[in-house]
Amino acid sequence: MPSYREGGAPVQDSPNIIMDEAAIRRALTRIAHEILEKNKGIEGCAIVGIRTRGVYLARRIAERIREIEGSPIAACELDITRYRDDRPLADGAAAGIVCSDGDRSFDVKDKRIILFDDVLYTGRTIRAAMDALMDCGRPQSIQLAVLVDRGHRELPIRPDYVGKNVPTSKHEQIEVSLTEIDGDDRVMIKHPREAEVGG
């Protein structure tokens, strides 16, 4: 039987794991259905993942939607490096959308864009992503999907689709692992001392 940490988030097998592989899979399937319901299908929609882990989540969601709808939806990735307000500019960092099939000519104009990221915290990454998108063209609309919303927004940004709301303190850290790059699927919460020692 799960116990509960302060703030209400259930603790599963390990005290720090707040989503395991099955929980992530179920959350993504639910979000895929919510996207289809809100947009009445996928006509004119594209999923855009924010590097790094948002890209893999976007691809998974696109695959779920293809399985449910029987037709493909574009899955692209967005590099926002040059739009961040908290890191120095990397030389040559470029804006731009690249589709999963390598197509760099994807046109956001008049598309309903569903931005995907793993964690939503202050909202600054999403602000940067919206600026980057707008520089690529004029989408009809932008919606936001995140695997984890941990609160503490510093900008007026609200997600349309959330895998899990996790009340956190500012000292805690949410760490998302995805099979494609980390070897397994899980979401962990690290408490202050664990975050310090990297445990």
Ligand X SMILES: O=c1cc[nH]c(=O)[nH]1
- The binding site for ligand X (CB under 6 A) comprises 119, 121, 150, 173-174
Q: Residue 123 binds which entry of ligand X, ligand PRP, none, with Cβ cut-offs from 5 to 8 Å by kind?
A: ligand PRP
Task: Please tell me the distance from the alpha carbon of residue 199 to that of residue 190, in angstroms, as a whole number.
Answer: 8
CB 120, min distance to ligand X, A = 8
- Which residues are 126's β-sheet partners? none
Site string (5-44) toward ligand PRP, x via CB under 6 A: ----------------------------------------
Burial class (CB in 10 A: 0-12, 13-18, 19+), 5: middle
**Which region, left, alpha or beta, applies to residue 85 given φ > 0 means left and ψ of -120 to 50 means alpha?**
alpha
Burial class (CB in 10 A: 0-12, 13-18, 19+), 90: exposed
Site string (96-135) toward ligand PRP, x via CB under 6 A: ---------------------xxxxxxxxx----------
Positions that interact with ligand PRP (CB under 6 A): 50, 52-53, 117-125
